[in-house]
Amino acid sequence: MMTLAQHLAKYGEYHRDHRNVLTHAVGVPMIVLAMMVLLSRPIFDIPLLGVALTPAMVASAFAAFWYIQLDFKFGLLMTMLLAVFISLGKLIAGISVMAWLGGGIGLFVVGWAFQFLGHHYEGRKPAFVDDLRGLLVGPIFVVAEALFALGMFRDLKREVEGLAAS
């Protein structure tokens, strides 16, 4: 299994133009929120466990497991962020059918428009075209880039830069 640094370096190869990274900082969270909105329905009540599950919760659980396997600290952070996005998605989906579909589809389309604009600047296709894991790496890449910009995880940043240079 590839390490977090290896995934970030590989994904970063497709995201060298600062405008592309900026469009991803907007577009990727929009897409994740869109997925949480759209997957917040239907709700499956499980009375024996006293819980109500949505497809968003199930998908996020799988993603969180992958993130934690990749890197424990980043995985916990991503799990918390996914929980926030699940909550926001549930709120939007609970307003009305129009808010659920309109909000979810609107966020999805605008988020992808940002992605493709960024790749227009980059002059290169999105990473997920070559490796579907790019759909999972994108959100952790955006989080890592934000943390790097704040001066955090300097060792990881150096490792990613070293891998990218080789």
Summarised one tens digit per residue, pLDDT across range 45-76 is: 888 888 889 999 999 999 999 999 999 999 99
pLDDT of residue 1: 84
Q: What are the distances in angstroms from CA 23 to CA 34, 78, 81, 89, 119?
A: 16, 20, 19, 21, 9
Query: Domains of the chain: which residue ranges?
Result: 4-41+51-165
pLDDT of residue 71: 96
* Dihedrals phi, psi of 51, to nearest 5 degrees: -130, 160
Summarised one tens digit per residue, pLDDT across range 127-149 is: 777 777 889 999 999 999 999 99
pLDDT of residue 48: 85
Summarised one tens digit per residue, pLDDT across range 73-118 is: 999 999 999 999 999 999 999 999 999 999 999 999 999 999 999 9
pLDDT of residue 85: 98
Residue 71 CB partners (closer than 8 Å, separation 6+): 3, 4
pLDDT of residue 132: 79
Where is pLDDT greater, at 166 or 38? 38
44, β-bridge pairs: 53
CA distance 20 to 3: 23
Confidence of residue 166 (pLDDT cuts 50, 70, 90): confident
